[in-house]
Amino acid sequence: MSLYIGANYHPHDWPRERWPIDVEMMKKAGFTTVRLGHLCWDSFEPDNGVYTFEWFDEVMGLFADAGIGVVLDISMHPAPMWVHCLCKGCNIGGINGDYQYPVRRYMEDVSDPGYQHYALRFAKTLVNRYKDHPALFAFGLCNELGWCHRSHSAESRARFIDWLRKKYGTIERLNQAWATQRWCRRLLSFEQVGFPETEEEAGSPEAWLDMRRFFSDGVGEFITALQKTVKENAQEKPTTSNHYAENPSMGFDYMKYYEGFVEYPGVGYYFNYYDIENIRYVNTEMQHRIAETDRPMWCIEYQTGGFGIHHGRPGVLRMMMLYSLLCRNQMILGWTWRTMLAGEEQFVVGLLEHDGLPNVNFDTYVQVAGEFKKLEQYAFPYNPVPEIGVAHSYDADWVIQYPNNIQFKQDYKTCMREISRTFYQLNRDYNIINLKRVKHDYKLIILPSYLVMTQEEADYIRQFVQKGGYVIMTAYSATLDEHSQAFACTRPGRLADVFGIRIGGYERPGDGQYYEEIEQREAMAFETDPQTGACLVSCNQYGKGKAFYTSGQMDHVVMTEVIRRLEGELGLTAVMTVPEGIQVREIAEGQYYFVNTTDKPLQITLPGEGQLVLHDMQVCDTVTLNAFDADLFLVQTKQM
């Protein structure tokens, strides 16, 4: 299979005479792929129903002649000003309900039916014009859907009320779910419902969580409708998307919706050049997007320079590009080709300077383009079948973010980054999974900070352990039911018998730490505090499997140790022993891919004599990999 590399290009920003110059530079650089079309709906449709595709036909022709494949983004986010004028509901309602002037991108309500009429009409027109073009490689489902604003407009409120009617049926059931008897908030009809947040206060946690689910469904259903529109008109063309489901202000429940719109998972991949520690968790979003798709990742945006950063530490950009292959990546399209002259991103440094001449980032991309050509002859893209699944909870993320929350101190992003650090330390792969629709068989499932536990999810965990699976659950988990109400039963709610424990209390010794007091019932102590004797990790045999509970919040040190102690018992595939800081996978039999993520050279003991592909040299027994370097080792003779 192939590895793809290229850039994001914005021909509408540059004069026509510049286009062939840029395309020729990309071709000589060894680029295979380019992303076009994003953020420029009004360049294709400057007014309602008025299309001007002729200029773009010329651009597509240039890339076809150069043999460079186009990922054509269907640009509908941001919406043109004429859509805002024609469609009142498209405009974002501020938290006080007033309509907000669209001063920047992404200030449209993508769940509004009026907006969707114009957006999906444009999508159908664009797809049908270019679906058979020789340059077309794939369609992109818009740009960063999920990065938008919560709309409190009258139109949005009316849809929220309809959403609640469909979910609860009667006002009595809604009152029960929202515990409206508390503080005299009882509702007499659905028409009395308002958004549970104002300029002054946030409403109850139950109502607030439902509001977040409503906004999530609006985005998730829209991107699913966009995928349906593409497939109805161009069934054979692959699709991808750099959606932003993880956006902290909006986002959407990716695990609920991904099966309806994801063909090739996509992402915008950015990192901190000067914080090498972040390498240990930078692939968190990539793993989330891959989920259980069984497809490689397409980084349709990938860092070049940065916001006010011309380039990072020497070697870091190349190392991160090569490291991404271990994160199951297949495509790197740099953001951006040329540094913009104007707009909000005029100092996000690209591969070319403002004057159109290459910089050091360009040189790195050229080097990696050549290295991708060598590596794609072997077992790339790397697409493993992990033995461990990590359950993701969209609800837990929002429960922790609830404005008046005083209980949960570790935010969910930190929790999931600790998971990523765990698997970095273990040199193992994992899948992010949805407990309501698990597709593969796993030996171990981890539930980090799984705060909200529905009956459906609890039933799955119970059956999984009964049949012989192992589960590790951290503190905070199974605290709330599906309405964000605390369990009246013994915690962990709905699963206390599976784990054989009762959570009797908790303590906060400081420094952001949190420990729950595990009362062992049927469970044994897997790890105890050497000073107090308190149970730090419990273990309960349930059916043919085992359930473990950690007294502390998600911590990569604890989780790494627990998994290492269980590797033999679980029969996990053995991993190669390497110095800390080296990431390694046997991507196929006798093919070992190494990445040195540190700023110092490290010596690796090899499994025999063989060849380094990128350095084109024979090695035997050991090799020293330089700082921020990587290579593929091919075993020729294995030691007995």
203 closest CA partner among 187, 180, 171, 173: 180
Tokens standing for residue 545: 């499997």
Q: How far is CA 402 from CA 127, 222, 332, 423, in A?
A: 40, 25, 36, 29
Cα distances (angstroms) measured from residue 9 to each of 59, 64, 68, 318, 321: 10, 15, 12, 21, 19
Q: Which single residue is written with the structure tokens 């380039």?
A: 311
The answer to whether 473 touches 447, Cβ cutoff 8 Å, is yes
- SS3 state of residue 195: coil
Q: Closest Cα to residue 160, out of 205, 204, 119, 191?
A: 191
| pLDDT score recorded for residue 404 | 73
The angle at the Cα of 367, spanning 371 to 21, to the nearest 5 degrees, equals 120
What is residue 285's predicted lDDT score, i.e. its pLDDT? 86
pLDDT score recorded for residue 639: 47
CA distance 395 to 589: 40
Strand order in the sheet with 602-612: 582-588, 591-596, 630-638, 602-612, 617-625
Do the Cβ atoms of 7 and 347 come closer than 8 Å?
Answer: no
All domains of the chain in start order, with CATH: 4-153+204-375 (3.20.20.80), 388-570 (3.40.50.880), 582-638 (2.60.40.1180)
Cβ proximity of 225 and 110 under 8 Å: no
Q: How many CB atoms lie within 10 A of CB 247?
A: 16
- Under-50 pLDDT residues of the chain: 639-640
Residues 555 and 532: beta-carbon distance below 8 Å: no
Tokens of 484: 């964000």
The confidence score (pLDDT) of residue 637 equals 61
Q: Provide the pLDDT for residue 393.
A: 96
- Give pLDDT tens digits for 100-157: 999 999 999 999 999 999 999 999 999 999 999 999 999 999 999 999 999 999 999 9
Tokens of 532: 């107090």
pLDDT of residue 354: 97
Count the neighbouring beta carbons within 10 Å of the beta carbon of residue 491: 20
**In whole angstroms, how far apart are CA 446 and each of 74, 236, 507, 566?**
37, 37, 23, 13
Per DSSP, the chain holds a count of helices (H) and strands (E) of 17, 22
- Of all residues in the chain, the percent with pLDDT exceeding 90 is 91
pLDDT at 640: 39
- What does the H/E/C string look like for 332-352? EEEECCECCCCCCCCCECCCE
Residues 73 and 239 sit within 8 Å (Cβ to Cβ)? no
Whether 260 and 227 have beta carbons less than 8 Å apart is answered as yes
Cα angle at 152 between 146 and 156, to 5 degrees? 80
